[in-house]
A = this chain, B = another copy of it.
Amino acid sequence: MLIEIFDNTEVKNLGECVFKSPIPLSFRDSSIFANFVKDSEKILFDSKIDLVKNHQDDLNKTPAFELGGPRKYLHFEPGKIACGIVTCGGLCPGINNVIRGLVNSMHYWYKCDKIYGFMYGFRGMVEGNEPEPIELNVKTVEDIHLKGGTILGSSRGSQDVKKIVDYLEKLKISILFTVGGDGTMKGANDICNEIADRSLDISIVGIPKTIDNDIVFVEHTFGYQTAFSAAVEAINSAHVEAKGTMNGIGIVKLMGRDSGYIAASASIASQDVNYVLVPESPFELEGRDGLLNLLKKRLKEKKHAVIVVAEGAGQDFFNSSEHKTDQSGNVLHNDIGMYIKDRIKEYFDDLGIEYSIKYIDPSYMIRSLPPTPIDSMFCSNFAQNAAHAGMAGKTEIMIGYWNGKFTNVPLSSVIGKRKKINIEGDFWLSVLLTTGQPRYMGNDIILKSKNKGG
């Protein structure tokens, strides 16, 4: 449960806010006419009334997030600072929209005319690494949201933090926006530490980016809705192919290294999936209650089946010594999609049952899409809130999204954690009810579950 790993840490500020915001908003207590937000405004972790009752004695201790949004007084003087943007990790729909939103917000609202775009992730934040940072302005970003990807390029892996801070100092950057996932947040945190050590007046604001939707304290990340919507089309294809031949089996492998959100959402939305395999829910292939036997029974009755498998599912089938890590430190998974495909082949070949498998891996076709209009708005909002936070001198934070509101969340509350599907919660229940698959697939797993459930 996410609430169990939530700490009510306060957001860190660089210092005094003495400059008046140039945004033409009002700010009056006890009035609805208040677009400026006060630091004291908080949003509850859980909107169920029970949570509040548990803290009835001291409501200030109720788990809650600092609300994001424009502040009336700023730490940095509008029109006087430079800022930088870096995008890291794998592609995800909407990165260009975030870049555009940052540039537009910093330019139109905060009069910032010096905006550096670092090339190819943290790699471009070390002086001397080619290519050099480019200067961004409202003209250069005018049409970038029409295309997927990131105009800044991206990369995985970290760089020498001292060199990065040297370069920030040299370029006189006051706010650095880091767009990335857990690894990027860790990197941002390291930069924050070096900045603190040097007592520099530089704010670091993270914007969460993950195709897997696995960053804690972010209800859903930008691009996620675009991604699972596109995944529905891949599932449709698998369904059509599966129905197109006798005993057709369509397998769709989707993103989801540690969390199966895309696989689960796309399967619910499609309504044509029979088995969803995600990292959070162990399963077996063999045995009466294993996938293979279930599949055999289904084909007998329905003549076709669709399986959706998240890339991080079933990693316990592989010898742990086989696991490697990528440059960002993420565990490189063995290919569970191909593994399952091979095992199914073997199984039906042995049984002499006619079948046909169609395997679809749409990963890069999804990651590279431009966002839907909804995600497009969502990206702009993340960017705007990041600009507000940075100008107010907030630092060591990530912009969160919770109960429909944007928040400022301390990096320390976030890094090293993963949001995962609660397989005993409502969302996974929807998957079970939509697919009709059993809650536990496999004898051992049923056994373990029973013991635990005891």
Complex interface bits, A57-100 against B, C-beta within 8 A gives 1, otherwise 0: 00100101001010000000000000000000001000000000
Complex interface bits, A25-45 against B, C-beta within 8 A gives 1, otherwise 0: 110000011110000011110
Q: Is the CB of A241 within 8 A of B374?
A: no
This chain: how many copies in the complex? 4
Question: Is A341 located at the chain interface by the 8 A CB criterion?
Answer: no
Q: Is the CB of A109 within 8 A of B433?
A: yes
Q: Is the CB of A403 within 8 A of B244?
A: no
Complex interface bits, A114-128 against B, C-beta within 8 A gives 1, otherwise 0: 000000100100000
Q: Is the CB of B374 within 8 A of A429?
A: no
Complex interface bits, A256-279 against B, C-beta within 8 A gives 1, otherwise 0: 000000000110111100000000
Q: How far is the CA of A236 from the CA of B359 in the complex (A)?
A: 21
Which residues of chain A in 216-232 are interfacial with respect to chain B, using CB atoms and an 8 Å cutoff?
A: 219, 225, 228-229, 232
Q: Is the CB of A374 within 8 A of B374?
A: yes
Q: Contacts of A265 on B, CB cut-off 8 Å? A: 377
Q: Is the CB of B377 within 8 A of A245?
A: no
Q: How far is the CA of A265 from the CA of B374 in the complex (A)?
A: 9
Question: Is A352 located at the chain interface by the 8 A CB criterion?
Answer: no
Q: Is the CB of A155 within 8 A of B245?
A: yes
Closest CB of chain B to A46's CB: distance in Å?
A: 8
Name the one of B42, B154, B238, B358 contacting A49, with C-beta atoms under 8 angstroms: B42
Which size class do A's interface residues fall under?
Answer: 35 or more
Q: Contacts of A150 on B, CB cut-off 8 Å? A: 244
Q: Is the CB of B33 within 8 A of A44?
A: no
A49-B64, A59-B56 given as contacts; is B269 within 8 A of A376 (CB)?
Answer: yes
Q: Contacts of A59 on B, CB cut-off 8 Å? A: 49, 52-53, 56
Contact segment of A14-22, A307-315, A342-350, A361-369:
A361-369
Q: How far is the CA of A149 from the CA of B265 in the complex (A)?
A: 24
Q: Contacts of A48 on B, CB cut-off 8 Å? A: 41-44, 67
Q: How far is the CA of A23 from the CA of B433 in the complex (A)?
A: 9
Q: Is the interface of A mostly helix, strand, loop or mixed?
A: mixed
Q: How far is the CA of A33 from the CA of B428 in the complex (A)?
A: 12
Q: How far is the CA of A155 from the CA of B52 in the complex (A)?
A: 45
A48 to B, closest residue via Cβ: B43
Name the one of B372, B425, B433 contacting A372, with C-beta atoms under 8 angstroms: B372
**Residue in A34, A35, A43, A237 with the greatest tally of chain B CB atoms within 10 Å:** A237
Q: Contacts of A250 on B, CB cut-off 8 Å? A: 364
Name the one of B33, B147, B404, B430 contacting A404, with C-beta atoms under 8 angstroms: B404
Q: How far is the CA of A268 from the CA of B123 in the complex (A)?
A: 34
Q: Is the CB of A405 within 8 A of B47?
A: yes
Closest CB of chain B to A202's CB: distance in Å?
A: 26
Closest CB of chain B to A317's CB: distance in Å?
A: 22
A246 to B, closest residue via Cβ: B120
Q: How far is the CA of A381 from the CA of B427 in the complex (A)?
A: 11
In order of increasing CB-CB distance, the 3 nearest A-B pairs are: A149-B240, A240-B368, A269-B373
Give A contacts to B, CB under 8 Å: 1, 23-26, 32-35, 41-44, 47-50, 52-53, 56, 59, 62, 64, 67, 69, 91, 108-109, 120, 123, 143, 145-150, 153-155, 219, 225, 228-229, 232-234, 236-238, 240-241, 243-246, 250, 265-266, 268-271, 358-362, 364-365, 367-369, 372-374, 376-377, 380-381, 384, 403-405, 422, 424-426, 429-430, 433-434, 439, 453
Taking A146-B147, A219-B404, A236-B368 as known contacts, 4 extra A-B pairs with beta carbons closer than 8 A to each other, sorted by chain A number, are: A23-B433, A250-B364, A266-B373, A361-B361
Instruction: Return 21 A-B CB contacts under 8 Å, by A number.
Output: A32-B424, A33-B453, A43-B47, A43-B48, A44-B47, A47-B47, A48-B67, A52-B52, A53-B59, A143-B147, A149-B240, A153-B246, A154-B244, A232-B373, A238-B364, A244-B368, A359-B364, A362-B362, A365-B365, A372-B372, A403-B403
